[in-house]
Amino acid sequence: MLQTAFYDIAFDARMYQHSGIGSYIRNLIRQFTQQAIGRDMLLLSDRDFPSHGLKIMHCHCKIYGLNEQTFLPYSVRTTKLFHAPHYNAPVLFPGKLVVTIHDLIHLNFYDQLPSLFHKLYAKSMMGLVINRADAIMTDSDWTRYDILQRWPQMKHKIKTVYCGVPVARDYPNPQVVLDRHGINKPYILYLGLLKRHKNLIRLVKAFEAAQRTLKGECLLVIAGDAKSDDAGLKQYVDGCSAKHLIRLIGFVPGADLPALYGQAALFAFPSIAEGFGLPPLEAMSYGVPAISSNATCLPEVLKDAPMYFDPYDIKDMTACLERSIRDDLWRKDAAPKGKIVAKGYRWENTARECLALYDSLI
């Protein structure tokens, strides 16, 4: 194990391989080195990964486990500041504690947590961490507001720091990726987790209803790790009338995303709860028109680029799908508008604000 005495900041990178939080970690690490951080930073992880010159301390404490509240804070006790990119922060860490809370989905959808342990953990840890942290970052004003509804006395320590959007990349032969997934006609794309709050069964129902006008001329492609499906999406799709037009293509590696985003006719995001909403922004960065739920932070982050719908109203979602495919004037306007909105979110700005926050504390 590395000696920690010479490191001012410890950054918890144990979730480096995860999807949403992992993307946050990977992009911040890259930017910290590119911006020539003025002090040494120590990354905590249970595996090696491209650290861009920063030091890695191997840490095998299980995420949400007891050791991350006992052994982990002890192992980095000589560092001045600890940044936890999720609410599973070590509350016994003796130095300054910075926590990123991306959303309160674990509390707002408490009944959907998989076990009694998860429910007890979410309910107790969120309050402990919010009270213990010296500074809390949120990805949107919506999440900041959501926290303050429960803990109004914490207003002085919460700061909104928007995430970034990767720069759109070219893919030399996108048809190779499309052929691999059986995508053989224009398609509406969803990409993300398949959890219940993502509202995908309503999207499928709206897509079914929209066939009255779309008449099978486009596919619905749903990309996301099948292990995250806690809503019975696959079972519903297998029994629906439009199943021959729906592709559940599973997890898509990052290298294939430019092809999948870049060739889509439309991006649909029906989620009923988000902390930021990166997938529609990524699609918009490729010039893909987007339609989105009008729930939680999405209008704040996506601004006026998408066409919005009520995520609980299947008729409204259906009308939005139909219009967004048929209305050429809207599509012509939405594509460049989306690119402008997406361009406003850059990881270098996120990292710069993180570093400024660190400086203010140490």
Q: Give CA separation, 302 vs 67, 101, 148, 299, 338, in Å.
A: 39, 20, 22, 5, 8
Residue type, 214: L
Local structure of 299: helix, strand or coil: helix
The token duo for 321 is 């799908």
**Given this model, what pLDDT does residue 5 score?**
55
Local structure of 20: helix, strand or coil: helix
User: Please, what are the domains in the chain?
Assistant: 9-164+346-361 (3.40.50.2000), 174-343 (3.40.50.2000)
pLDDT per residue rounded down to tens, the chain (362 residues): 455 556 899 999 999 988 889 999 999 999 988 876 645 789 999 888 888 788 899 998 999 889 999 999 999 999 999 999 999 999 999 999 999 999 998 888 777 767 777 778 878 889 999 999 999 999 999 999 999 999 999 999 999 999 999 899 988 899 999 999 999 999 999 999 999 999 999 999 999 999 999 999 999 999 999 999 999 999 999 999 999 999 999 999 989 999 999 999 999 999 999 999 999 999 999 999 999 999 999 999 999 999 999 999 999 999 999 999 999 999 999 999 999 999 999 999 999 999 999 999 98
Buried b (16+ CB within 10 A) or exposed e, 74-102: ebbbebebbbbbbbbbbbebebbbbbbbb
**Given this model, what pLDDT does residue 3 score?**
54
CB-CB neighbours of 325 under 10 Å: 21
**Given this model, what pLDDT does residue 6 score?**
66
**Given this model, what pLDDT does residue 107 score?**
85
Q: At what angle do helices 278-285 and 328-343 cross, to 10 degrees?
A: 110
Q: How far apart are CA 222 and CA 75, in angstroms?
A: 42
**Given this model, what pLDDT does residue 158 score?**
97
**Given this model, what pLDDT does residue 356 score?**
93
The dihedrals phi and psi of 279, each to the nearest 5 degrees, come to -55, -45
The token duo for 324 is 């967004």
Model confidence, pTM: 0.92
Q: Are 192 and 279 in contact (CB under 8 A)?
A: yes
